[in-house]
Amino acid sequence: MFIDWNQFTPWSALVGGAMIGLAAALLVLFNGRIAGISGIVGGMFTRAKGDLGWRVAFVSGLVAAPLAWQFFQELPLIRIDASYAVLAAAGLIVGIGTRYGSGCTSGHGVCGISRGSPRSVVATLIFMSIGMLTVYLTRHVFQS
Partner 1 sequence: MTNLIALLSGLIFGLGLILGGMANPAKVLAFLDVAGAWDPSLALVMAGAAGVASLAFTAARRRDRSYLGAKMQIPASRLIDKRLVLGSLAFGIGWGMAGICPGPALVLLGSGSAKGMVFVGAMLLGMGVFAMLEKGRAGRRSGPVQTGDAQPVDRPDDSRARRKTGNE
> Buried b / exposed e across 4-17, counting CB within 10 Å, b at 16+?
eeeeeeeeeeeeee
Shortest separation between residue 121's beta carbon and partner 1, angstroms: 9
Shortest separation between residue 117's beta carbon and partner 1, angstroms: 7
CA 41/CA 107 separation, integer angstroms = 12
Shortest separation between residue 144's beta carbon and partner 1, angstroms: 14
CA 128/CA 36 separation, integer angstroms = 16
CA 67/CA 73 separation, integer angstroms = 10
Shortest separation between residue 44's beta carbon and partner 1, angstroms: 8
Mapping DSSP onto H, E and C, the string for 32-71 reads CCCCCHHHHHHHHHCCCHHHHHHHHHHHHHHHHHHHHHHH
